[in-house]
């Protein structure tokens, strides 16, 4: 692949969402990501949606979307031979990534310290709910954690949702994906350091920590003694108007973070006088009259369609229609930017679409190129590259150590 990370080899032991999303980001930028699976295969292979003509069911859409561009090898890490196979792969790798609970790899005899002894340049990265004791022992480190737990305990649910309503989960699994993005950043940073210094290191991202970092405004508000940042619905605590407003066929987003935009929108609404009216001209005054100002804007948007509002406001003030995914996929922006990409799907005559990488690079573009692998699809090739002979590979297969 023509990617900036094309000379980086990653051993990917991760499962479900957070880890595979992280290694997907590396693979999209050209890294050789080798997905190491147990003989039973990664559990997420069984999650849909599935294509109607796919009778082989190697995997569904969940697995395809975040495991594209990877190779797969099956190794039984519970066996002594399997551990030795993995150690031989580590000797030639740049990165190991895992998202097991703390202590799992240590109990397998494959701790960071033991693998670092084999390969001092190795970057060993983890994503766990509450982190690893190597960088700070949380009292919750043995708790299982998924996206919903990270969102709840990390603070984002408290500041999401209606003003007078229950805490609300962010729709996409940001508890997983934000931790994944931060881990990918940490891995690339550590690989750069290792190549300059010859020294690998342990990279640890806790899902809770990642969500806390994402809530930077709330954290800073607390840190400055300004109290908790509570839910503000679909509007902003510091700017007015700045939120979503109803229209005839749905909702639109409008933002006026500076006073000049308020003057502009007042003119576009046909009420230029309120743009300079002392009651509304300054943001502080609009905050003091938040409901009144929002009602003025909503009263104007309510009688128009998204398209009409786009023609009036688009490009003049911060504005956008509230899209669902199909709206966005069918939009001229998606066409111009190539937001969706076609991939083959094993066991089906159909191609499928997945979200293309959002990271665009002019010299090393990367991107989604190959479908997710079938279980163990690349075992022989990966082992041969690691120096295993044909006879050794056949013997390992007979013992069900690899597959």
Q: 154 near 214, Cβ under 8 Å?
A: yes
Token duo for residue 21: 């999303």
Distance CA 12, CA 8 (A): 12
Q: What is the largest CA-CA distance in the chain?
A: 85
Residue 176 annotated among the catalytic residues of the structure? yes
First and final C-alpha spacing in the chain: 25
DSSP conformation class of 365: B
CA distance 240 to 1: 47
- Is the Cβ–Cβ distance between 298 and 246 less than 8 Å? yes
Alpha helix ranges (H) inside 91-173:
104-107, 112-118, 147-154
Of 368, 370, 395, 365, nearest in space to 380 by CA = 395
The per-residue DSSP string of 209-224 comes to HHHHHHTHHHHHHHHT
Catalytic residue, candidates 28, 54, 176, 204: 176
- In contact, 375 and 45? CB cutoff 8 Å: yes
Give the tokens for residue 207: 């899902």
284 CB-contact burial (10 Å; exposed 0-12 / middle 13-18 / buried 19+): exposed
Catalytic residues: 176
């Amino acid at each position: 692949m023509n990617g900036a990370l094309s000379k980086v080899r990653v051993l990917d032991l991760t499962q479900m969402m957070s880890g595979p999303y992280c290694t997907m980001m590396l693979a999209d930028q050209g890294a050789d990501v080798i997905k190491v699976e147990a003989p039973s295969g990664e559990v997420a292979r069984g999650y849909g949606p599935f294509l109607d003509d796919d009778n082989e069911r190697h995997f569904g859409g969940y697995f395809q979307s975040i495991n594209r561009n990877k190779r797969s090898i099956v190794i039984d890490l519970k066996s002594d031979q399997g551990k030795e196979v993995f150690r031989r792969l580590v000797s030639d790798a740049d990165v190991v990534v895992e998202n097991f609970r703390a202590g799992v790899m240590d109990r397998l005899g494959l701790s960071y310290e033991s693998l670092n002894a084999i390969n001092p340049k190795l970057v060993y990265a983890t994503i766990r709910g509450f982190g690893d004791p190597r960088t700070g022992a949380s009292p919750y480190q043995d708790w299982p954690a998924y996206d919903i737990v990270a969102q709840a305990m990390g603070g984002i649910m408290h500041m999401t949702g209606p003003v007078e309503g229950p805490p609300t989960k962010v729709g996409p699994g940001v508890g997983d994906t934000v931790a994944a993005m931060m881990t990918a950043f940490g891995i690339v940073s550590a690989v750069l350091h290792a190549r300059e210094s010859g020294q690998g290191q342990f990279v640890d991202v806790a899902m809770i920590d990642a969500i806390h970092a994402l809530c930077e405004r709330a954290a800073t508000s607390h840190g400055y003694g300004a109290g908790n940042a509570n839910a503000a619905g679909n509007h902003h605590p510091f700017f007015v108007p700045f939120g979503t407003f109803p229209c005839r066929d749905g909702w639109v987003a409008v933002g006026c973070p500076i006073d000049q935009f308020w003057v502009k929108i007042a003119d576009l609404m046909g009420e230029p006088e309120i743009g300079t009216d002392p009651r509304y001209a300054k943001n502080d005054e609009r905050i003091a009259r938040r409901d009144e100002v929002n009602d003025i804007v909503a009263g104007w948007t309510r009688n128009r369609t998204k398209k009409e509002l786009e023609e009036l406001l688009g490009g003049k003030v911060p504005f956008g229609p509230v899209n669902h995914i199909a709206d966005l996929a069918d939009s001229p922006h998606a066409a111009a930017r190539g937001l969706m990409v076609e991939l083959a799907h094993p066991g089906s005559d159909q191609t499928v679409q997945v979200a293309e990488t959002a990271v665009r690079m002019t010299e090393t573009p990367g991107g989604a190129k190959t479908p997710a692998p079938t279980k163990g699809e690349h075992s022989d090739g990966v082992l041969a590259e690691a120096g295993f002979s044909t006879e050794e590979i056949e013997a390992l297969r007979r013992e069900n150590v690899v597959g």
